[in-house]
Each structure stands twice: as structure tokens, then as C-alpha cells.
Amino acid sequence: MAATARPAGDRVIVAGRPERVAVVRAFAAALLGAQHPQADTVMLLVSEMVTNSIRHSKSGRPGQTVTVTFTRADGLLRVAVTDRGTASGPVAAGRGGWGGGRPGADPGAGPGRPLGRGPRR
């Protein structure tokens, strides 16, 4: 069986508790270095994504975890947050944007909102 080549990444797994978000921020800061020009932006996005996973998924339940993987490729840093999923299952995106498929929902809000994919147009 041939192995599949995947980009090397750094990973941190934390308990799904709000106070553990600081551990993920420290891990990201150590990877980037204090002088990285986008360090503040990365810290904000990482904090938001992990906090959302803890608040809105089963990862916030006792004994559950959140996994954050940092992968560098082609001068970019990809941050992937993996949680335990939602209690109610996936929610479809609304037409024309996010908002959980609810009529009149804010298109800038909702589960799975891609944070940090660049400026919105």
C-alpha cells in the first residue's frame, strides 16, 4: 500500500474549555515568531475559530477536545480546526452567503463561516 504524501504540519490538541484557547494562541505565536507581520491577525483568527468550536460543537462538552493543525505551503499558513461536530448536525448555508439557510439571516454570520480567506468583496 503506497503512502500518500501530505504537507508536514504542526498540531496541538486541547481540552474543549475556554481557558485552553490561550494555549493554542501561544502555540501559534511560537510557530510564527514575534516579528511575523501577520502574527496579530493569525492570533485573532485562531482565537475566534477555536472559541467557536468550543461554544458551538460537542467539543465544548466535558472530556472533549479541539485539534488545531498549522500547515505551511507556498508561503501561506493554513490553520485547520477540527472539533467533535454539532449536536444538531450540519446547517446549510443560505443563498448568496452564510446564515444557516434562514430567510433574512445575516449573510456574514452562521456556522462554518470561513474566517481568514482574505478580504471580502
Nearest to 84 by CA among 57, 62, 47, 56: 57
Contacts of residue 113, Cβ cutoff 8 Å, sequence gap at least 6: 98
**pTM (two decimals):** 0.69
* Chain mean position to CA 99: 18
SS3 of 80, please? strand
H or E stretch covering 31: helix 21-32
pLDDT band of residue 30 (cuts 50, 70, 90) is very high
Confidence at residue 117, expressed as pLDDT on a 0 to 100 scale: 55
Domains of the chain are: 9-82 (3.30.565.10)
Summarised one tens digit per residue, pLDDT across range 33-80 is 878 898 999 999 999 999 999 999 999 999 999 999 999 888 888 999
